[in-house]
């Protein structure tokens, strides 16, 4: 997971990355790996159980998925980014339906959580 985080963040910011590179050539990449490893160690040392952490991660994923799907739909329809390979009408319709359902479920979840 730490390596994946390193690659994802380095690619996002255009940093040099790769386990085959030396630290001085990809210091940002290796710093992210070190930070992710330390965070993992701290989580492991905490009193929060692994199943509880998985539960919270799933909750966060369910709440963040609808806004991310909106961005994906916007990018998928942007000709400046994708040229002629933008979404079809069917892809857009399915994407909107799925995003709407996930948004309603996330809102329902938040409503239930806030009431208890």
- My answer on whether 57 and 34 are in the same domain is no
Task: Judge contact between 42 and 31, C-beta under 8 A.
Answer: no
Structure tokens at 50: 């692994």
CA distance 28 to 12: 12
CA distance 45 to 79: 48
- My answer on whether 23 and 72 are in the same domain is no
- My answer on whether 41 and 26 are in the same domain is yes
CA distance 81 to 15: 21
- My answer on whether 59 and 108 are in the same domain is yes
pLDDT in tens, 42-84: 988 888 888 888 898 999 999 999 999 999 999 999 999 999 9
Q: Give 23's DSSP letter.
A: G
Q: Which domain holds residue 75?
A: 50-115
- My answer on whether 62 and 102 are in the same domain is yes
Could you tell me which residues come within 8 angstroms of residue 65 by beta carbon, excluding any fewer than 6 positions away?
A: 102, 106
Its pTM surpasses 0.85? no
Number of domains in the chain: 2
pLDDT in tens, 19-29: 999 999 999 99
């Amino acid at each position: 997971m730490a390596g994946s985080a390193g690659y994802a963040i380095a690619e996002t910011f255009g940093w040099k990355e790769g386990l085959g590179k030396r630290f001085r050539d990809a210091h940002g990449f290796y710093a992210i790996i070190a930070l992710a490893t330390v965070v993992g160690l701290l989580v492991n040392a905490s009193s929060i159980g692994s199943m509880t952490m998985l539960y919270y991660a799933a909750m966060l994923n369910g709440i963040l998925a609808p806004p991310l799907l909106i961005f994906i739909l916007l990018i998928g329809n942007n000709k400046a980014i994708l040229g002629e390979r933008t979404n079809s009408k069917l892809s857009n319709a399915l994407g909107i339906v799925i995003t709407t359902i996930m948004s309603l479920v996330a809102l329902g979840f938040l409503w239930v959580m806030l009431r208890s």
